Amino acid sequence: MELENILQTLKQELDQIDDVQALNELKAKYLGKKGSITEFSSKIKDLPLEEKKTFGASLNKIKTEATNMIEVKREELETALLNKKLESESIDIALPSTKIPMGSPNIVEKIVEEVEELFMSMGYDVVDGPEIEEDRYNFELLNIPKGHPARDAQDTFYLKDDEILLRSQTSPVQVRTMLEGKGEKPIRMICPGKTYRRDNDDATHSHQFMQIEGLLIDREVSLSDLKGTFDVLAKKLFGEDCQTRFRPSHYQFTEPSVEMDINCHSCKGKGCSICKNTGWLTVSGAGMVHPNVLKNCGYDPKEWKGFAFGFGAERLAMESYGIDDLRIFYTNDLREIKTFDRKEAE
C-alpha cells in the first residue's frame, strides 16, 4: 500500500463501521504493532539519510491524522450509543407525581397565627394561661363582682361551687400577666386561647371557641393609639383599603369602651344582608383598661394606663375566608382543612 493512499483507504473503511468493537479492530489494523502504518516506520531505517527525515515527518503526520480520524469516529459512535440509551429511558412526565405529605393548620389556627405574627412584630408576647380558672381571675379582678349582670351574658361552666370554672374569656391571662408584672413593668401581650360558655352549638354559637385578647400597659397610652393599632391589624387581615371605625360601647374591664368595626367586605360599605344594611361589621371589643382593673392587678392608675382588646378568632376567620358556619372549625373535615396548607395571598 502506498503511504499516500493510506488515509483515504482508512476513511473509506471508517465510513463502513458502526460499532466500537469494529473500530478497535480497525485501529489495530492501521496503528497496532503489525498495523499497516506501523509497518511503514520499520522501513525508515533502510532509507537514505536525507529521505529518512522527510519520510519520517510525513509518516508522523499521517499517524496523528489517522489517530484523530479514529477518535472522532469513536466519539460519534459513543454519542450515538448514549443517545439511544437516553431515548430508551425517557418517561411520560404527565403521569401523576408522588405526593409529599404536608399537613395543614386548623382553619382558625391559621388566622390566629397570622394575628400572632403581626403582634409579635409590634413587640407583643404571645401568652396562654389555664383553661380551668378561678372565679377571681375570670371575673372578680376584672371588675365583675358576684351578682353583676355582666356575668349573665357569659353563662359560665362552673366546676366547683362558683369558685372554679372553665374560663369564659381569655382575660384572666391578662390579669395573671399584670400580677406577674407587679405594677412595675410595661406590658405588651396577646393571649389567644380556648374559652367556654354555655351556648348550644349552632351556626353562630359554640360552647367552645377561641378568643384573641391583647393588652398594652405603659405610661403614655391613649384611645387613639388603640385606634391606630386596630387599623394596622384590619389592614393586615382585610387588605390595605379596609376602612375602620370606633363606636362607643361598654365592658366592665375597660373605660372608655369601644366596638371596632370594619367596612363590610361583601358590599364595600353600601349595605347588604351580611352587615344588616349598616355597611359595617363589628370585629372587636376594646377600650382603655378600667382603673379598678389596673388597681386590682397591682398597677397604679395614676401612673399607668393601657388598652385591651378582644376578638373572636372564629369570627375573624369567618369574615376573612367567607365561612358561614362556626361548627366547621371543630368538625375537622380534611377535605376542607387541606386547602389551608398554603401561604396567604399578598
Binding residues among 194-233 for other proteins as defined by CB under 8 A: 194, 196, 198, 200, 207-208, 216, 218, 220-225, 227-229, 231-232
Site for other proteins in 231-250 (CB under 8 A): 231-232, 245-250
Concatenated DSSP letters of 218-239: ESS--HHHHHHHHHHHHHHHH-
* Contact residue for other proteins among 186, 269, 271, 298 (CB under 8 A): 186
CB 117 within 8 A of CB 344: no
* Contact residue for other proteins among 15, 75, 240, 333 (CB under 8 A): 333
Concatenated DSSP letters of 35-71: -HHHHHHHHGGGS-HHHHHHHHHHHHHHHHHHHHHHH
String of contacts with other proteins for each residue 272-311, x by CB under 8 A: ----------------x-xx---------x---x------
* Contact residue for other proteins among 115, 258, 264, 283 (CB under 8 A): 258
String of contacts with other proteins for each residue 100-129, x by CB under 8 A: xxxxxxx-xx------x--xxxxxxxxxx-
Nearer to other proteins, 62 or 229 (CB): 229
CB 217 within 8 A of CB 186: yes
Shortest CB 195 distance to other proteins, Å: 10
**CA torsion sign, 59 to 61 to 63 to 65?**
negative
Amino acid at 172: P
CB half-sphere exposure, 200, CA atoms < 13 A: 1
Q: Are strands 187-196 and 164-166 parallel, antiparallel or unpaired?
A: unpaired
Shortest CB 87 distance to other proteins, Å: 21
CB contact set of 276 (below 8 Å; sequence gap of 6+): none
* Contact residue for other proteins among 160, 185, 205, 342 (CB under 8 A): 160
Region binding other proteins by CB under 8 A among candidate stretches 3-11, 62-70, 144-152, 318-326: 144-152
String of contacts with other proteins for each residue 29-58, x by CB under 8 A: ------------------------------
Check binding of 176 to other proteins (CB under 8 A).
no
CB contact set of 110 (below 8 Å; sequence gap of 6+): 317, 340
